[in-house]
Chains A and B, each alone.
Chain A
């Protein structure tokens, strides 16, 4: 199991950092921008395939999440949010052969020594247009599958399965083996870009499921509290 999948409900963490800014360091904007560009140029998108970029990989949320959830959990909590992105994305480019560790280290030294060293010049409006167009169009995972009927209906009491956790998982750990009631059956099916190894990947229905917080946390929760979670059908079964 991965601590990252079981974050919900973890005790002893103290007060929350109620920082309202999106970025606390200017560099965080840059790694966010790089991630968006990778999402927009991901080669599973038809428009990206004809964009004149040297990026020849698939990069989706699933790839980023898999990297974050695959981390040593002690490192996961040691690094700040965008530090994890920077680490994960850098390793991805190195492991995929786009850049070498030596290149990255040498360049880092250059910018450490002189932080205002200008970036190289490369203009290709078609790349930038695709990046902004991706933001406007998105990449909907919703799809129609013939003969696919949801197994559960609104009002059904269901049990959340307890599949073996893998390095990437879409099931919050605190819901495993718990019972809830189907609140909404979302229309059609939803794809997921990666096979997570625990059942999610192929298109399947998604449900909003309502849980009594006390059925999950007992007396450790609060009065009149309900939890609603969106759950993939692969994680749901009829109660025993």
Chain B
């Protein structure tokens, strides 16, 4: 089967399934659209970006976020549901010049939905999952990130119930920026340790 006919078949099959589930009274005509809408508006990396930006400007908050992640997040004015599905037990770790953290799930694709939304493709890629746990520096290099030899690398395998995310390093040149400005430059990749935050990304 060619790629395009494979996708056409998948698309038809999932529509057929959804259609049957609606007919059988399992879900409604609106259910799937409502779920998608929720992940576009309420839960997503925009929440994580606000958390990181606050941690950058408020050292006490950052300390709290590292020590008791849910309690710190609960302090913020984020949509209801930050301790909801896949966010029940979250932990933040901090990148510094001395320590670089990278998150991986070698068994499946565990990801902190409320603060980061749904995992991007690379996080679910079996190649990433296989390699990140053994040769993280090489993997990060392929992502365009050179980790100095003097920096310790910590790879977190989320193999049980805790969902991890990274507080990336604040880039130089952002002195005096507001939390709102800072939040615009934080990417999902940076919050999983696969990228650094770049100022140029803000434009």
Residues of A within 8 A of B (CB): 4-5, 7-11, 13-22, 24-27, 29-34, 36-37, 39, 41, 52-55, 61, 65, 68, 77, 81, 83, 86, 89-90, 93, 98-99, 103-104, 107-112, 115, 117, 119-125, 127-128, 131-132, 134-142, 169-172, 174, 186, 190, 206, 208, 213, 216-217, 220-232
Q: Check A123–B30 contact: CB distance below 8 A.
A: yes
Q: What residue of chain A has the Cβ atom nearest to residue B151's Cβ?
A: A224
Assess whether B24 is in contact with A121, with CB atoms less than 8 Å apart.
Answer: no
Whether a CB of chain A sits under 8 angstroms from the CB of B172 is no
Interface of chain A, main secondary structure:
mixed
Contact between A17 and B125, CB atoms less than 8 A apart = yes
Q: A172 to B157, Cβ gap below 8 A?
A: yes
Can you offer 25 A-B residue contacts whose CB atoms are under 8 A?
A: A7-B126, A7-B130, A13-B126, A14-B127, A22-B119, A29-B36, A33-B33, A89-B17, A93-B21, A104-B17, A110-B12, A112-B12, A115-B11, A128-B28, A131-B34, A134-B85, A136-B81, A138-B87, A140-B89, A141-B88, A142-B88, A225-B136, A225-B155, A226-B153, A230-B159
Partner of B13, one of A65, A90, A169, A232: A90
Contact with A along B124-165 (1 / 0, CB 8 A): 111111110111111100110000011111111111111000
Chain B, interface residues (CB within 8 Å), range: 35 or more
B8 proximity list for chain A (CB < 8 A): 112, 115
**What chain B residues lie within 8 Å of A55 (beta carbons)?**
26-27
Q: How far is the CA of A186 from the CA of B159 in the complex (A)?
A: 14
Q: For residue A61, which residues in chain B have a CB less than 8 angstroms away from its CB?
A: 108
- CB contacts (< 8 Å) of A29 on chain B: these are 32, 36
